[in-house]
Amino acid sequence: MKIKSFFSCWPGPWLSVVVLFLSSHFVSASPEDSPAITSVRLEGTNVVVTVQVPPGIQRVTLECRSRLGAGSWEPRALTRLNGSGGEVTFRVPREATLEVLRVRADNQEPLPAAFYTGTNLFAGQPVSSGSLSAVFDVGPTASPGADPTAGAPSRDVVESDIWKTSGDTLFFFNQYRGLQVIDISAPDSAAVQGVLPIPAAGEQMYLLDAKHVVLLARDGCGWWGSDSESRVLIVNVSGSAPKVAASLPVKGFFQESRLVGSALYVASQTYQVKTNGTNSVTWEAGSLVSSFDLSNPEAPVAKDTIWYSGYDNVIAATDVFLFVVVPSPSDYWRSIVHCIDITAPDGAMSEVASISTAGRVNDKFKMNWANFVFTAISEAPVNGNTTWATKLETFHLPDPRAVGPEGVFKLGQVTLGNGERLYATRFDSSLVYVVTFRRIDPLWVVDISDASHPKIAGEVQVPGYSNYIQPLGDRLVTVGLDSSNSWRVAVSLFDVHDPGAPALLSKVALGENSSWSEANTDEKAFNVMTDRHLILLPFQGYLTNGYATRIQLIDLNRDSLALRGTIDHPCQPRRAAVHNDRILSLSGQELLSVDATDRDHPRIKATVPLAWSVDQVFAQGTHLIELTSASWWWWNGQPAPALRITPANEPDHVLDEVQLPNQFPILGAAVRNGRLYVAQGQQNFGSVPLADDSDPGQPTNPPPNLFISIYDVSALPGVKLLGETDAMVEPLGWSANFEVVWPKAGVLVLTGGGGGYWDPWLDWGIARPAGPVGGGFAMPIYWGNNGGRLIAFDVGDAAAPKFLSDVNLAKNAWWNFSPAYTVNGLVFLSHEAVEAFPPVVTDGKDTNSPPVDYWVQRWYLDVVDYADAANPAVRKPVNIPGSLKGVAHAGDLLYTVGEHWTNATNWWWDGTEYLDASAYDGVEAHLIDSLKLSSYWPHPVLVNGDAIFVGHPSETTTVKNLLETWSLSSAGKFTQLGKTELSGAAQNLANFGDLLAAQIGNQVSLFNVTDPTAPALLVTSDPPGCVWFDLNKADGALDRGLWLPLGVYGVSVIALPATP
């Protein structure tokens, strides 16, 4: 026998470790031949001891005694290694006798090895009565079993989280940007070292080893093809840039997962096809449990799958069982717990039993397996579904490795919380803590030391309820909601040293009015650090000064809690922890390094941006210009407007961030001849009067509300401000947004605007249309405006730009303005308007003509002449067939899309739209030809010079989706030049020179249209995540590909395939 070392530890909330080196009692060649305890840690209610064992050892025993230097050593756990050596993990319940620990290693067994292979489980007579056949799928037997732990050291059971640390490296599976690897060796200068860009893909992550991270990446838009919706990604993080080493498909969408040793178990929600005898097909919803062997991370192996029907399934695991809880097919309010044997280290699975509970098991904390007893806590409606009851049930569940199964049978039960709903539960050795709630929160203490006779030991009542319970020896700390003053996040400290008389010691509520915390639904956000007497808790809620998103610092003392300072984030914080004497506070958009030496006044020392909204991009050489517009409707903390420069191939790597002149949102931008033009302005939130209406709320001398800045971007990443100017113009409207057009050199025109114009007549978003009002209140109601502003600036001298003019076409009850097009100093756009239709004289038999004083809706062309840009001339509107889509031949040819209301017998529309070509002579527009578009939607139209591209959706199962090219012949007829197949119906088309982009669902296909008669497909790509994007804010080039802004999810780079 040889004794290497022993560790001393004291039970309770604070764990100290003392290392003493003893002389060896076994003759060995060197100290390396001796076993060594490498770590001791607390894990819930257990003490976990890790031991490194050299080769040649047959048996390792964990021993303990009650105090240092006295008493006998008691064996507590044992494992056999057959001389293989390696790492052994012991997990034993935390008790007062575990004050001193040591390991003993033997190089031979005192008896033949075969003597230790017989059963160590011996069945007794069941003490419960009554029929159990309806409760269990496996009935009790009296057959003996084998030693379930022989040759099987325990394995760690790990849950996923959004972040993990390994030494001085932080791994963050960011919901906005994907996997981010961050160096935190010096928290005040932390830096992102690498990114795997898979935004909107998920948040479940594991550290597999020093070189590999496991990501569970979901997919809502068919990234992977086939019938798989998700992937297990093994990522190699040993280099400067994370790389996917292996990818394994998973059907459905991830619900839960566990990593047990090197085996990964995943439960996903999906559907499977079922057929019956009549060959009819039905789809059944359920959970697919999949297992994977990750022992070789570069070559993982998919092992087994097991299907369980039903929604809202729950997962829990030990290193022996994986428990999958599904609703009973016959009673939704009862659960069936499937007990899956996962003792095989390679991930092989087999179901060994299923248990039906009295009610519904709602989460992982309501199940426990220890000492061959499975305990379940469930709730169910009772008394004719008029009220609720909670039941705690115990069952004998043997180790699946036993020879001759003993069977599963019920041991006992106890009912509590009649009339109340079930909330937090937590097992702690022989005690269970249960929270139920109706008007007050009873915290129940249940003694399960005698599994056949569980009993209520005590209870205490407090306002509100707890969502999560953290045992701390003879104390409990909980997080939940307090109902005494609205509903606020609350942290409570309980004294449970006497289970029969639990007592509330202290309680603190966060926020001033209502508040909420992610910890109310995910306990991983609740960081209790007993060694620092500190709790870090993210929360958000309403305060006197508005809405706040914060990390709350809470002092944790033995008998009290105290609120200290807060760490403010602009958006919802997710996690916080202490590293190298700094608090690291994390949200999806930033990592803060905080000095909390003074806990009442924590100071932010450094900020690492992790995600920012990218709303528009410009590709310039090897660099990318990213703009954050900072629109007022931002839902998760309004960002500041920003201009960032990144490498074109690394849009998450910011090289420079430019300080903008003010904090107003960016309303429009353009790059031209090496200069960036940025328009910022004040968007409106309330009512916006028409220009000819008085508004007593407006100040006499209002400040400027529109700003123009000009930057030199010819030498990126360097950016230089050349000049700026401002102007006070009429209100810009709600969600004002502008495009930049150039009617002539040196003249910049912002075209667009916002909604929300009000009229005193109805005081609700419209202006009174001109014309008679017959028949009383007969006019239709239309929205007052969504564009129609043209604001001009002289930018010929970049150092001294100046305001020229403001044309507001939206004053005349015109609406639905088209994009603007420029030719030879003219700006073309269109609008809709409503007009009174002339009365119709009938003979009393006509039933198809419109009624008297009928109002009709028409399209009109607007042309603004900027020959004198300070005094632009607005031409009289000209009636056109539809919305303007483009101009050609120096503005003489107009292309529009609209309906044809030409039916001579009745006034209805069959849903058909037409592409119309009209000749414009400056006074009127004359129809040349019409092309009927598909009656199926969508059917986008893009005019590019003389070529017109039309998306034609499939109208039957035998017809393909097409991209068609048309032109207007010299004979005045639409002529098809060519067509090419698409993978789906095109929703939007945009061109970047001779590069055409077609949006098809969440895909983008790029075409070379140098020869418009034969568009050549270059690539089809799926931007990661199922997120909305706007092709009109993208940028690209035929020889480089496309950069697609995804808002807070960053930029998707669609690269072109290499030329052979």
Rounded-to-integer distance, Cα 555 and Cα 785, Å: 55
* CB burial of residue 211 (10 Å; 0-12, 13-18, 19+): middle
Virtual CA dihedral for 892, 898, 904, 907, nearest 10 degrees?
Answer: -150
pLDDT band, residue 632 (cuts 50/70/90): low
pLDDT in tens, 481-493: 988 878 999 999 9
Contact indicator for 430, 449 with CB cutoff of 8 Å? yes
Look at the block and give the residue holding tokens 């003996």: 144
Q: Indicate the residue type of 695.
A: D
> 187 by DSSP, 3-state: which?
helix
* CB burial of residue 58 (10 Å; 0-12, 13-18, 19+): middle
Higher pLDDT, 903 or 7: 903
Strand partners, 569: 549
pLDDT of residue 280: 61
Neighbours of 184 (CB within 10 A): 21
pLDDT in tens, 431-480: 999 999 876 668 999 999 999 999 999 999 888 889 999 999 999 999 99
Beta-strand pair 603-609/616-620: unpaired
Rounded-to-integer distance, Cα 182 and Cα 726, Å: 41
pLDDT above 70 coverage of the chain, percent: 81
Lowest mean pLDDT among 22-31, 68-77, 115-124, 337-346: 22-31
> Of 9, 93, 90, 137, which Cα lies nearest the Cα of 448?
93
pLDDT of residue 28: 35
Paired tokens of 37: 């305890």
pLDDT in tens, 505-524: 999 999 988 999 999 999 99
Paired tokens of 1056: 């072109």
Beta-strand pair 747-755/675-681: unpaired
What pTM was estimated for this model as a whole?
Answer: 0.80
pLDDT of residue 278: 64
Lowest mean pLDDT among 211-220, 600-609, 870-879: 211-220
pLDDT of residue 781: 40
Rounded-to-integer distance, Cα 317 and Cα 846, Å: 78
Rounded-to-integer distance, Cα 837 and Cα 845, Å: 20
DSSP 820: P
Rounded-to-integer distance, Cα 940 and Cα 745, Å: 31
Rounded-to-integer distance, Cα 453 and Cα 429, Å: 16
pLDDT of residue 74: 74
Rounded-to-integer distance, Cα 36 and Cα 51, Å: 6
Contact indicator for 668, 739 with CB cutoff of 8 Å? yes
Rounded-to-integer distance, Cα 579 and Cα 592, Å: 12
- For residue 790, give every residue at least 6 positions away whose Cβ sits within 8 Å of its Cβ, in sequence order, or none: 749, 750, 751, 805, 806, 807, 809, 820, 827, 864, 872
Residue 123 has pLDDT above 80, yes or no: no
Between vectors from CA 571 to CA 568 and to CA 575, what angle results, nearest 5°? 70
Residue 914 has pLDDT above 90, yes or no: yes
Residue 634 has pLDDT above 70, yes or no: no
- For residue 1023, give every residue at least 6 positions away whose Cβ sits within 8 Å of its Cβ, in sequence order, or none: 1002, 1004, 1029, 1044, 1046, 1052, 1054
Q: With residue 450 as reference, give the H or E element that holds it.
A: none
Residue 303 has pLDDT above 80, yes or no: yes
Look at the block and give the residue holding tokens 């639409």: 974
Higher pLDDT, 842 or 1012: 1012
Residue 847 φ then ψ, to 5°: -110, 5
> Of 48, 47, 34, which Cα lies nearest the Cα of 5?
34
- For residue 453, give every residue at least 6 positions away whose Cβ sits within 8 Å of its Cβ, in sequence order, or none: 412
Paired tokens of 680: 């910022």
Whether domain 2-115 has CATH 2.60.40: yes
Average pLDDT over the chain reads 84
Lowest mean pLDDT among 14-23, 452-461, 892-901: 14-23
Residue 143 has pLDDT above 70, yes or no: no
pLDDT in tens, 754-786: 865 444 344 334 444 444 443 333 343 434 456
Rounded-to-integer distance, Cα 647 and Cα 653, Å: 7
Distance between alpha carbon 68 and the CA centroid of its chain, in Å? 51
> Of 41, 170, 44, which Cα lies nearest the Cα of 580?
170
Contact indicator for 539, 548 with CB cutoff of 8 Å? no
Neighbours of 564 (CB within 10 A): 17
pLDDT of residue 876: 93
Q: Across 933-987, where does the E strand assignment appear?
A: 941-944, 947-952, 962-968, 974-981
pLDDT of residue 542: 86
Residue 96 has pLDDT above 60, yes or no: no
Rounded-to-integer distance, Cα 145 and Cα 139, Å: 15
pLDDT of residue 65: 72
* CB burial of residue 255 (10 Å; 0-12, 13-18, 19+): buried
pLDDT band, residue 989 (cuts 50/70/90): very high
Domain ranges of the chain: 2-115, 626-811
pLDDT in tens, 315-331: 999 999 999 999 988 88
The answer to whether the Cα torsion of 66, 68, 71, 76 is positive or negative is positive
* CB burial of residue 446 (10 Å; 0-12, 13-18, 19+): buried
Radius of gyration of the chain (CA): 36
Count of positions (residues) in the chain = 1060
> Of 425, 393, 369, which Cα lies nearest the Cα of 157?
369
> Of 207, 270, 214, 218, which Cα lies nearest the Cα of 244?
214
**Is the bond into 717 cis (omega within 30 degrees of 0)?**
yes
pLDDT of residue 279: 64
Residue 998 has pLDDT above 60, yes or no: yes
Residue 947 has pLDDT above 80, yes or no: yes
Neighbours of 489 (CB within 10 A): 27
Lowest mean pLDDT among 170-184, 632-646, 772-786: 772-786
pLDDT in tens, 248-298: 999 888 889 999 999 999 999 888 777 766 666 677 788 899 999 999 999
Higher pLDDT, 342 or 17: 342
Residue 794 has pLDDT above 90, yes or no: yes
Beta-strand pair 74-80/59-65: antiparallel
Contact indicator for 762, 781 with CB cutoff of 8 Å? yes
pLDDT in tens, 723-753: 999 999 998 888 889 999 999 999 999 999 8
Per-residue exposure over 381-420, b if at least 16 CB sit within 10 Å of its own CB, e if not: ebeeeeebbbbbbbbbbbbbbbeebbbbbbbbbbebbeeb
The DSSP-derived string for 316-357 is EE-SSEEEEEEEETTEEEEEEEEEEE--STT---EEEEEEE-
pLDDT of residue 560: 97
Higher pLDDT, 871 or 636: 871
pLDDT of residue 329: 85
Mean pLDDT of 954-959: 87
pLDDT of residue 20: 33
pLDDT band, residue 37 (cuts 50/70/90): confident
Mean pLDDT of 346-364: 95
Neighbours of 347 (CB within 10 A): 23
pLDDT of residue 133: 27
Lowest mean pLDDT among 380-384, 533-537, 825-829: 380-384
Contact indicator for 477, 493 with CB cutoff of 8 Å? yes
* CB burial of residue 675 (10 Å; 0-12, 13-18, 19+): middle
The half-sphere exposure of 1045 on its side-chain side, counting CA atoms within 13 A, is 23
Paired tokens of 609: 């941006």
Paired tokens of 87: 């790492």
Rounded-to-integer distance, Cα 475 and Cα 839, Å: 85
Paired tokens of 1036: 């690209």
Q: Indicate the residue type of 167.
A: G
- For residue 545, give every residue at least 6 positions away whose Cβ sits within 8 Å of its Cβ, in sequence order, or none: none
pLDDT of residue 405: 61
